[in-house]
């Protein structure tokens, strides 16, 4: 079992990473300072060291010379923010195997770690951090999660990783179809409750008169139609996570009942006088402006603050231009699995139509469109005729779309340059193109770098 030493002063993040790597059959030791790390290095020979660049009383780079002198086979990977990438690159010249820029997901660092331990070449140093291939071993099904490479997507992942280990209530906002339930599941799976139940409830689909019974359960005979005892959603989610979608649709009376249950951590079934203790983490979602609803008096302010201990706005698809093809390919693989098909790719004309369309329904609309296209595709490639009519007509839009192939390419180039601290040689490798081609693209798009 490979031995890994994590040096990270953020205890919550360090413990989360330790737990994740332990699940993947690594023997993980943690330290929060360079001095503590030096003491542990005297007792154990580690196969790999994962260190933050910035640490109290020094940094991860300071340890490199002594580590590589005493333990030349020990691989070192540095964790760094964008502003410190140059430091990490310099560290690689001193013997570090690689660096990984924050924000990152645990799955992406797993890819780099495996590369450091197993690869005999430096290919892993230029890997694009696409964690979809690793999600099946992380407890989250790859068919349920889409991870993007754009700055907006990486920021979203950073928030998920940050809040997941806590028990804070999370409010997810964003347009319809952006993937709020998928995000809620990701938070649940990465939390300490990941092996417990995740219960999703559509508050907009519950009639006002049945909401109390749905949330808290009822006893047989407590009202007409109560033919047997029934546990509510709070009991069903005990020990796990309760996800309340479209929370803004709850009536004022139901809001009062929900607030009381969250505050007191106990509920009563309809028709019962017995208190039932419940331990649930609450994640809510809405595409409405809850603050406006608070101002208008239709949503309780005290409940809003109770639910909004940590808020995450899920970006719209139009804000993640650089991720469009990644998402499309993800849904293509998912549709193939669901339909038993073997469609390989999109034609160039189809890709252009995907870029031209504005995607008002966001990821949900893209997923449905790809699944339909796979169903109508007879060969290995999706052509425009397989897409829904509204997408086929996208090129006829009078207003120019934010999506275009050139915008997509520009976004990818800028993302790669940011990740490499504008080192054009490394950016070219990251983009899998020659340095000359990258320079031509920079001139073509008039990028100021």
- With b meaning 16 or more CB within 10 Å and e meaning fewer, what string describes 181-218? bebbbbbbbbbebbebebbbbebeebeeeebbbbbbbb
How far the first Cα of the chain sits from its last, in Å, is 44
pLDDT for position 90 = 66
Q: What global pTM score does this model have?
A: 0.61
pLDDT for position 372 = 95
**For the chain, how long is the longest CA-to-CA vector?**
78
Render 125-155 in DSSP notation, one character per residue.
GG----GGGGGGGTTS-TTT-----SHHHHH
For residues 106 and 140, is the Cβ–Cβ distance under 8 A?
A: no
How big is the chain by its Cα radius of gyration, in Å?
25
Q: Which residue has the higher pLDDT, 145 or 381?
A: 381
Range with lowest mean pLDDT among 142-151, 289-298, 359-368: 142-151
Task: Tell me the three state secondary structure of residue 234.
Answer: helix
Tokens of 34: 């360079």
pLDDT for position 120 = 32
Domains within the chain, CATH numbers bracketed: 3-137 (3.40.50.2300), 164-312 (3.40.50.300), 318-396 (1.10.8.60), 405-444 (1.10.10)
Q: What is the pLDDT of residues 303-339, one digit of tens each?
A: 999 999 999 999 999 888 888 988 999 999 999 999 9
C-alpha to C-alpha distance for 157 and 308, rounded to whole angstroms = 18
Number of other residues whose CB lies within 10 A of the CB of residue 294: 16
Q: What is the pLDDT of residues 11-27, one digit of tens each?
A: 877 888 888 888 888 99
For residues 105 and 75, is the Cβ–Cβ distance under 8 A?
A: no
Tokens of 217: 């359960």
Nearest of 86, 39, 96 to residue 62 by alpha carbon: 96
How much of the chain exceeds pLDDT 70, in percent?
85
C-alpha to C-alpha distance for 388 and 262, rounded to whole angstroms = 44
C-alpha to C-alpha distance for 90 and 111, rounded to whole angstroms = 22
Range with lowest mean pLDDT among 17-21, 100-104, 321-325, 344-348: 100-104
* Residues facing residue 243 across a β-bridge: 200, 283
C-alpha to C-alpha distance for 153 and 161, rounded to whole angstroms = 12
pLDDT for position 132 = 35
């Amino acid at each position: 079992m490979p031995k890994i030493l994590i040096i990270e002063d953020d205890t919550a993040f360090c413990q989360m990473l330790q737990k994740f790597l332990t699940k993947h059959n690594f023997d993980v030791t943690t330290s929060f300072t360079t001095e503590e790390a030096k003491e542990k290095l005297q007792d154990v020979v580690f196969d790999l060291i994962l260190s933050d660049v910035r640490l109290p009383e020094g940094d991860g780079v300071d340890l490199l010379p002594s580590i590589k002198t005493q333990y030349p086979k020990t691989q070192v990977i540095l964790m760094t923010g964008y502003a410190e990438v140059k430091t990490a690159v310099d560290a690689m010249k001193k013997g570090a195997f690689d660096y990984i820029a924050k924000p990152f997901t645990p799955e992406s660092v797993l890819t780099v770690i495996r590369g450091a331990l197993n690869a005999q070449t430096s290919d892993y140093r230029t890997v694009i951090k696409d964690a979809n291939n690793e999600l099946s071993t992380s407890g989250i099904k790859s068919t349920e999660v889409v991870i993007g490479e754009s700055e907006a997507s990486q920021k979203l992942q950073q928030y998920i990783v940050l809040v997941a280990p806590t028990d804070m209530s999370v409010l997810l906002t964003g347009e319809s179809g952006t993937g709020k339930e998928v995000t809620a599941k990701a938070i649940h799976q990465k939390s300490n409750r990941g092996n417990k139940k995740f219960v999703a409830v559509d508050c907009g689909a519950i009639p006002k008169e049945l909401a109390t019974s749905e949330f808290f359960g009822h006893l047989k005979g407590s009202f007409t139609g109560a033919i047997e005892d029934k546990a509510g959603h709070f009991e069903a989610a005990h020990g796990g996570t309760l996800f309340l979608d479209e929370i803004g649709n709850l009536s004022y009376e139901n809001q009062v009942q929900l607030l009381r249950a969250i505050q007191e951590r106990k509920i009563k079934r309809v028709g019962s006088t017995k208190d039932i203790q419940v331990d649930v983490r609450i994640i809510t979602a809405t595409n409405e402006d809850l603050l406006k609803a608070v101002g208008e008096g239709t949503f309780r302010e005290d409940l809003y603050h109770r639910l909004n201990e940590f808020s995450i706005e899920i970006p719209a698809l139009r804000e993640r231009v650089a991720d469009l093809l990644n998402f499309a390919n993800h849904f293509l693989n998912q549709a193939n699995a669901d339909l038993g098909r073997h469609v390989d790719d999109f034609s160039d004309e189809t890709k252009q139509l995907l870029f031209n369309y504005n995607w008002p329904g966001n990821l949900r609309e893209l997923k449905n469109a790809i699944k339909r296209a796979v169903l109508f595709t007879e060969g290995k490639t999706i052509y425009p005729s397989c897409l829904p009519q509204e997408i086929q007509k996208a090129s006829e839009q009078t207003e120019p779309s934010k999506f275009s192939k050139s915008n997509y390419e520009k976004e990818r180039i800028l993302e790669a340059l940011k990740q490499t601290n504008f080192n054009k040689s490394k950016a070219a490798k990251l983009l899998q193109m020659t340095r000359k081609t990258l320079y031509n693209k920079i001139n073509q798009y008039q990028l100021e770098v």
